[in-house]
Structure 1
Amino acid sequence: MTPRLAFTEDNAMRIAAVERAFAPSGKSLAKPGRVLVGEGRLLKLCRHSLQPKMFFLFNDIIVYGSIVVHRFWYKNQHIIPLEDTIVEDLADSLEMKNQWLIRTPKKSFYMSAASEKEKQAWISHILECREQQLISSRKEPTTSFAAAWIPDRASDICMRCADKFTVAQRRHHCRQCGFVVCNSCSKCRIVIPAISAKPVRVCTLCFNTLLREKAEQAGKRSSDGFDLEMPMYEASSDEDSEEGYDMMPIQWVKP
């Protein structure tokens, strides 16, 4: 399907429309051979609640962002290379129907579609495009993925020390394991290259594990190693919030 669409005027116009919708802060999406395969509104599980996001599937990347004015204005653009992505089909839960999981090295998150049919369409199209992209790029598939964050409402207590969360005892997330933890159990910061070049918040258990792994890796190298001291600071909020929108059916591009 995608080779026949790659150099068509219709495909170029579709990609240009997506670019305009993310302007002025979005990145350029036009690229030789790139095809817009489909688009649709999905629910993404953020730390506080399910949030509507607009997703665009290309033959080599996934682009998504927050909805300001549907079809006219989106913000907070995220671009995920397909070779760095895997999807997992999940059974329905009490809180989420038609759910599935997107895993990437930098961030993993739960999604919900409007129907089982739409969910399966997203999964099958992503898997097909990913397979074709790996073949054409000749890259090795990514094998290390970030943990999906456990939602705030999933636990009233710290998942490490069991202290109860209050107005003063705020919830935080460990970037390594995704657990909901208190401030005392997540004072440590460490660089996780796949997530950020700057030190990020992790729980004490993960910090010690990562530090031990780094020390073991340094011991195997003949170089001078690296600095094991990790800076400490307070982390800022991790998710933006948007108003709710109705779900809409996905639109797939016909060959």
Structure 2
Amino acid sequence: MGTMENQPMFGHDNQDRIHAVESSFGPSGKPLYEPGRVLVGEGRLKKMSRRGPQPKAFFLFNDVLVYGSIILNGRWHKKQKIIPLEDSQIEDLEDGVKMRNQWLIRTPRKSFYVAASSSEEKRAWIEHIEDCRSSLLRSGSCRPAAHFANTWIPDKASSVCMRCSNQFTVTQRRHHCRKCGFVVCAACSKKRAVIPHIHPTKRLRVCTMCHPGLSTLEAQEGPRAQGGSTEKIGSDEDEVDGLSEEEEEAEEQMEDHDPGTWSRSQMDPWATYVYFKPEHTQPQT
């Protein structure tokens, strides 16, 4: 804990940092400042998407994890996503073929892989996320999520449908089952079903293997979704974090830049992880 003399100063600095994060997302971002909320750290991580690792800006608060796409040389962001920490689960992973220093972030609606620039930075992220989440759950103000979404298998992981084995082509497009995350063709993912922990009412694309179990569950619990199984939903591309020309340029700069270790992050706070407050488990109110 800091002394009584430096607590007001920290509160002011913390509020300024949170407002700066809010402003970086522009008018499309949701307000982030709340009494008692502390910005614990921020940095840039590679997030695995359908097209491979993409650089994203991440901001860790004592109760939520916020991330978004990087634009304008990393000073501005868009496509803001907010994850309540009680609805998250961290799984440490060994180095992969395409991503080193990676781990898995599970949430009810979406689960995905992220990677840091160094093992030290990875450890800092994981420890601080878990510390904040544990403190939040100990307070008794929230309950942990009961179900988590499966991760999507990357497009390039399979050249054939993982249900019928038909070859993917220009006209035979890849899709993803929202239940199991498998890469499937359109014919094997015609069905729609409600997956409550992903969306409580919307019918989502599911494969032929997952649909029977979900439809049985839906019949037992009663209809909750609007529209039938033929309801039009967005394509997989609608759920992908697309890159503008500015973002692609930012990604190239990220790949060419050595961000160093997180302990030197004060020199370049946009390149790697910045840890703001050791006493983040007892924020100001």
Scaled by the length of structure 1, what TM-score is found? 0.91
**1:54 and 1:227, CA in 2 relative to 1: closer, same or farther beyond 3 A?**
closer
* Greater Cα shift, 123-132 or 197-206: 197-206
Helix, strand or coil for the counterpart of 2:127?
A: helix
Distance 1:227 1:86 in 2: 27
Distance 2:166 2:145 in 1: 37
Q: Which runs of 5+ in 2 are unaligned?
A: 260-270, 279-285
Deviation at 1:5?
8.1
Deviation at 1:194?
2.4
Deviation at 1:70?
4.3
Deviation at 1:135?
1.7
Count residues with an aligned counterpart. Answer: 248
CA RMSD of aligned residues (A): 2.1
Helix, strand or coil for the counterpart of 1:8?
A: helix
Deviation at 1:6?
10
- Equivalent residue, structure 1, for 2:20: 17
**1:9 and 1:172, CA in 2 relative to 1: closer, same or farther beyond 3 A?**
same
- Equivalent residue, structure 1, for 2:217: 213
2:193 paired with 1:174: no
Structure 1 counterpart of 2:223, one-letter code: F
- Equivalent residue, structure 1, for 2:132: 129
Render the CA deviation track for 1:96-119: whole Å, top value 9, x for unaligned: 111100000000001111011111
Distance 1:71 1:160 in 2: 40
- Checking the alignment, whether the CA contact within 8 Å between 1:158 and 1:181 is kept in structure 2 is yes
Structure 2 counterpart of 1:226, one-letter code: P
Render the CA deviation track for 1:116-156: whole Å, top value 9, x for unaligned: 11111111100000001112243221121000000000111
Helix, strand or coil for the counterpart of 1:124?
A: helix
Distance 2:2 2:148 in 1: 27
Deviation at 1:234?
5.5
* Greater Cα shift, 113-122 or 235-244: 235-244
Structure 2 counterpart of 1:205, one-letter code: M
Helix, strand or coil for the counterpart of 1:204?
A: coil
- Equivalent residue, structure 2, for 1:226: 223
Distance 1:151 1:199 in 2: 22
Structure 2 counterpart of 1:254, one-letter code: K
Distance 2:108 2:128 in 1: 20
**1:7 and 1:33, CA in 2 relative to 1: closer, same or farther beyond 3 A?**
farther
Q: Which runs of 5+ in 1 are unaligned?
A: 219-224
- Equivalent residue, structure 2, for 1:82: 85
Match of 1:200 among 204, 207, 211: 204
- Checking the alignment, whether the CA contact within 8 Å between 1:201 and 1:235 is kept in structure 2 is no
Deviation at 1:7?
6.7
Deviation at 1:226?
2.5
- Equivalent residue, structure 2, for 1:221: none
Helix, strand or coil for the counterpart of 2:28?
A: coil
- Equivalent residue, structure 1, for 2:264: none
Distance 1:73 1:152 in 2: 29
Helix, strand or coil for the counterpart of 1:24?
A: helix
- Checking the alignment, whether the CA contact within 8 Å between 1:152 and 1:171 is kept in structure 2 is yes
Greater RCO, CA 8 A, separation 6+:
2
2:240 paired with 1:239: yes
Distance 2:16 2:206 in 1: 44
Match of 1:31 among 34, 37, 43: 34
- Checking the alignment, whether the CA contact within 8 Å between 2:194 and 2:218 is kept in structure 1 is no
2:44 paired with 1:41: yes
Helix, strand or coil for the counterpart of 1:129?
A: helix
* Greater Cα shift, 128-137 or 190-199: 190-199
Match of 2:164 among 161, 166, 169: 161
Distance 2:224 2:151 in 1: 28
Render the CA deviation track for 1:32-78: whole Å, top value 9, x for unaligned: 10000000000000111111100000000000000012453100000
**1:49 and 1:22, CA in 2 relative to 1: closer, same or farther beyond 3 A?**
same
- Checking the alignment, whether the CA contact within 8 Å between 1:51 and 1:241 is kept in structure 2 is no
Helix, strand or coil for the counterpart of 1:74?
A: strand
